[in-house]
Chain A
């Protein structure tokens, strides 16, 4: 695990030269999973990396413009992700597959394409 330490300010009023450090623990309780997106004409495919997660503990909820994923790990950290969609979807048609620690969400687009006849 890597922890980052950044100096964010020095208190000028303080007569001592003590510096104030902000300690950023890189693995807080809740983190966003690493995510990749691929878009097709009909759907958005979201791949979420969820290591140390059991399939039974993954919670995916879908709305017309938003998909939410909550997945607690066996290491005490919880993956949380909210995917805001730039298009409407059919929430009941969103599919999810969990394989090799990766959650693949297929989010179909509700957009219909029409060929316009030129008169």
Chain B
């Protein structure tokens, strides 16, 4: 599995880059709230309307992917320290990858359903 063979420096490079990109994407997401009064922006029809805007959908999807990669790798880093065996390292990496793919798939499903795509 190619992902398991990545060097730790390559993984951490992805970790840092996803953090920076997520900060930017979340900032844009928050700025979207300023288009109209904050309370109004969270009203049900307005939220659903956002999901019909393809650029907003792409923004939400990218936030979901970036935060999932960054967050689950952070979890992997914490769990790696608990034991020092190759079996543990591989198991944790595989479990974290599966969980990450699961969260991204479930989030994408929500975006797709809300967008009526």
A, B in one complex: no
